[in-house]
Every structure is written in structure tokens, then in C-alpha cells.
């Protein structure tokens, strides 16, 4: 769930609160220390940091299936703080296979039709297509999709201070198959691709950073860059505190930790650490 949605709707409840913590929401945009004054943003961003950019798609790019367990990570996202290295990540092939059943039944929580087999395949294809064009690791895109919507192509558009539509609950994005109760079934492939573009590449809004731009802003060239980008995707491009603590105030405390766990195999497992994080 994006942090400002928690602030905006805490008094009235939230969609995420009734959907088994399937995060839906918007971003906590910090308005200080901005490094640009854009009125709009490019929708063709790519990762340019060599240590983070992925030049080609490889579905066997990890250590296998990993383990469905949860560790609550805190601190700055570094391996010295206990966070997983990229060499600890599962392969995209295994990650997709492990999450496919969840994706196939992800829409019932929102009271809309679950993905068809065709729609789920088109989600897979969209992730691969956008990963190729943006140079964002396809595992990172999939992790954020699972975090934000669990892969439901008809995930509702969350509208509070800003509009957050689609599979990745993007910032003022245009891709959606469920906007204001207007539900598309089937969800067209063009919309599915646009939803992934909105989240991974970004939107035209000045604050519409996608994963590609946030990876470049992460100021890291290793796995910590992905965890820092996850924090910024959740809570704003200027939201990382001076301490570097990715679970610090001003964001969903679990968000970056959840992404790290998804990248190492977490799917269903619930333990004391994951439960406490969600209180």
C-alpha cells in the first residue's frame, strides 16, 4: 500500500485493509530537497546505472526457487545490514511459476472476475516486454506487481490525493481495466502493457516516477539500489531519511522488506516477523 493512502484514509478504512494486505494505494511525495522542477516527465525512461540495468532477458537468472519464508529487514538495504544480495534472488522462471496460482485467483478479493489464462499470459509477456525496453530487472517488476495488486489485471484504481491505477498502482497512470467501477472483461493486452509501463517506466506526471528512474536515483550499484527504489516507489522519490533506514517513518514500514522477500522466494509464508510488520 502506498503510504499517503494510509494517511488519507486511515479514518475511513482502506481497500488494502479488506483484501488480506494486498497493497493498493499511492505515494508519500516529499516536497523538500527536490532535484528538478519538471511539469511533466518522460515516459521512455530506462535504467542507465550499469550495475542495475539489465541488458537482456534471462529467465534462469537466479539461484532457483528460493524459500517461502519471511525475514523482516531493516536498515539501509545493504548486505552488511543483512539484506539479500542479488545472488540470493530467485530466477524469474521460478518466481513466476511460484506466484502464478496467486495471480490466477487475485481478482476475487476485489469482487471482479479473476484473470483468464490469456490475461495472465499477457501479463507475463508485458513484464518481459517492458523489462526489455526499460532495462528494469523483470523480477523487480514482478515483485512490485505482486506487492501492489497480486497480479489482478482488474485491480481497482485507488483515488485519494492522486489516482493510482492498475497492476502496479502507478502515479497518475493511464493503464487500467477498472476505473471508477468501469470494469473491462476481458482486459485488453494494450491496457496490460500500459499498466506495466506506467509502473516500470513512469507516467507523464511530474511526480510519476517509475522503477527505471528510481533505480537511477537510488545512488547504489548493487541490490541496495533495488530496495531503495522500492522505498521511493512506495513513498516518494525524496522519502529516504538521512539515516538510510528503509523501514523508517514516512513510508509503509514493510514495503522494501516485502520486496526483498519476494525476490528471494516469499509467497504465502506468515510468521511473527511478517505479522508484526503489518500491525
- Please tell me the pTM assigned to this model: 0.88
Higher per-residue confidence, 60 vs 4: 60
CA–CA separation, 55 and 265 (whole Å): 23
- Quick check: 200 and 134 in contact, CB under 8 A? yes
pLDDT, position 251: 82
Residue 235 lies in a domain: yes
Provide mean pLDDT across the span 110-123: 98
**What's the distance, CA 8 to chain centroid?**
20
Residue 156 lies in a domain: yes
What phi and psi, each to the nearest 5 degrees, are found at residue 32? -105, 160
- Quick check: 45 and 203 in contact, CB under 8 A? no
Residue 33 lies in a domain: no
pLDDT, tens only, 33-67: 444 544 445 688 999 999 999 999 999 999 988 99
Residue 39 lies in a domain: no
Its sign, for the CA torsion 103, 108, 110, 116, is positive
pLDDT, tens only, 185-237: 999 999 999 999 999 999 999 999 999 999 999 999 999 999 999 999 999 99
What SS3 class is residue 17? helix
Residue 38 lies in a domain: no
Provide the number of structural domains found in the chain.
Answer: 1
Residue 52 lies in a domain: yes
pLDDT, position 268: 84
DSSP string spanning 59-127? TT-SSSS---------SSS-GGGTPPPGGGSPPHHHHHHHHHHHHHT-SGGGTSPPPPHHHHHHHHHHH
Q: Which helix (H) or strand (E) holds 156?
A: none
Q: Which domain holds residue 100?
A: 3-27+47-277
Residue 7 lies in a domain: yes
Out of 1-5, 121-125, 245-249, which region has the weakest mean confidence (pLDDT)? 1-5
Higher per-residue confidence, 17 vs 101: 101
The per-residue pLDDT of the chain, averaged, comes to 87
Provide mean pLDDT across the span 103-112: 97
Residue 73's nearest CA partner among 231, 244, 256 is: 256
Residue 193 lies in a domain: yes
Amino acid at each position: 500500500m502506498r503510504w499517503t493512502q494510509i494517511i488519507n484514509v486511515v479514518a475511513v478504512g482502506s481497500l488494502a485493509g479488506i483484501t488480506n494486505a494486498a497493497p493498493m494505494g499511492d505515494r508519500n511525495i516529499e516536497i523538500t530537497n527536490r532535484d528538478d522542477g519538471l511539469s511533466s516527465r518522460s515516459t521512455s525512461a530506462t535504467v542507465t546505472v550499469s550495475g542495475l540495468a539489465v541488458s537482456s532477458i534471462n529467465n534462469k537468472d537466479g539461484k532457483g526457487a528460493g524459500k517461502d519464508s519471511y525475514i523482516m529487514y531493516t536498515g539501509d538495504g545493504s548486505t552488511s545490514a543483512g539484506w539479500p544480495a542479488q545472488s540470493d534472488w530467485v530466477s524469474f522462471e521460478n518466481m513466476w511459476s511460484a506466484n502464478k496460482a496467486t495471480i490466477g485467483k487475485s481478482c476475487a478479493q476485489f469482487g471482479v472476475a479473476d484473470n483468464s489464462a490469456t490475461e495472465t499470459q499477457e501479463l507475463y509477456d508485458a513484464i518481459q516486454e517492458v523489462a526489455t525496453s526499460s532495462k528494469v530487472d523483470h523480477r523487480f517488476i514482478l515483485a512490485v506487481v505482486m506487492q501492489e495488486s497480486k497480479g489482478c489485471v482488474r485491480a481497482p484504481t485507488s483515488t485519494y490525493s492522486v489516482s493510482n491505477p492498475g497492476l502496479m498502482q502507478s502515479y497518475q497512470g493511464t493503464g487500467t481495466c477498472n476505473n471508477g467501477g468501469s470494469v473491462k472483461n476481458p482486459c485488453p493486452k494494450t491496457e496490460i502493457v500500459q499498466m506495466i509501463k506506467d509502473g516500470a517506466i513512469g507516467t507523464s506526471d511530474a511526480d510519476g516516477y517509475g522503477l527505471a528512474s528510481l533505480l537511477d536515483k537510488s545512488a547504489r550499484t548493487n541490490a541496495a539500489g533495488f530496495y531503495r527504489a522500492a522505498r521511493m516507489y512506495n513513498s516518494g522519490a525524496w522519502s529516504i531519511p538521512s539515516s538510510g533506514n528503509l523501514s523508517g517513518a514516512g513510508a509503509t514500514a514493510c514495503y522494501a522488506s516485502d520486496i526483498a522477500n519476494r525476490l528471494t522466494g516469499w509467497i504465502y509464508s506468515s510468521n511473527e516477523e511478517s505479522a508484526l510488520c503489518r500491525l
